[in-house]
Amino acid sequence: NAGVTQTPKFRVLKTGQSMTLLCAQDMNHEYMYWYRQDPGMGLRLIHYSVGEGTTAKGEVPDGYNVSRLKKQNFLLGLESAAPSQTSVYFCASSSAMGSYSNQPQHFGDGTRLSIL
């Protein structure tokens, strides 16, 4: 059972470089999310998608772009990496809609990104 798969797992970039993080889920979930996790802070939502072809901004979207061309994939792009984007990035997916559902989000195992 693959669930949510993130690639790559680790990456070191130089300031100004660009890269794309890939998230793939095989659970046919409508909703997908990208979070970042930094020491002493909770997971913060970067962008999310409520379905194929749709994206929306989360809490900390600046410096990131996303695309959801296929239902199973959600890409997170850094156009010009900055040291402040050094973090652990988690992708998640869920099937639920609205705040009344108790369906959980399923997380990938994270991408550790360092920007020098």
Partner 1 sequence: RKEVEQDPGPFNVPEGATVAFNCTYSNSASQSFFWYRQDCRKEPKLLMSVYSSGNEDGRFTAQLNRASQYISLLIRDSKLSDSATYLCVVKEDTDKLIFGTGTRLQVFP
Sketch the per residue contact string, 66 through 85, with partner 1: x for CB under 8 A, - otherwise. Answer: --------------------
Exposed e or buried b per residue across 61-95, where buried means at least 16 C-beta atoms within 10 angstroms of its C-beta: beebebebeebbbbbbebeebeeebbbebbbbbbe
Q: Which is nearer to partner 1, 14 or 62 (CB)?
A: 62
Query: Per CB under 8 A, which of residues 8..67 are in contact with partner 1?
Result: 31, 33, 40-45, 48, 50, 56, 58
Separation between Cα atoms, residue 56 and residue 69, nearest integer Å: 14
| Whether 56 contacts 68, CB under 8 Å | no
Q: Does 107 bind partner 1 (CB under 8 A)?
A: yes
Q: Which residues bind partner 1 (CB under 8 A)?
A: 31, 33, 40-45, 48, 50, 56, 58, 90, 94, 96-102, 104-105, 107-110
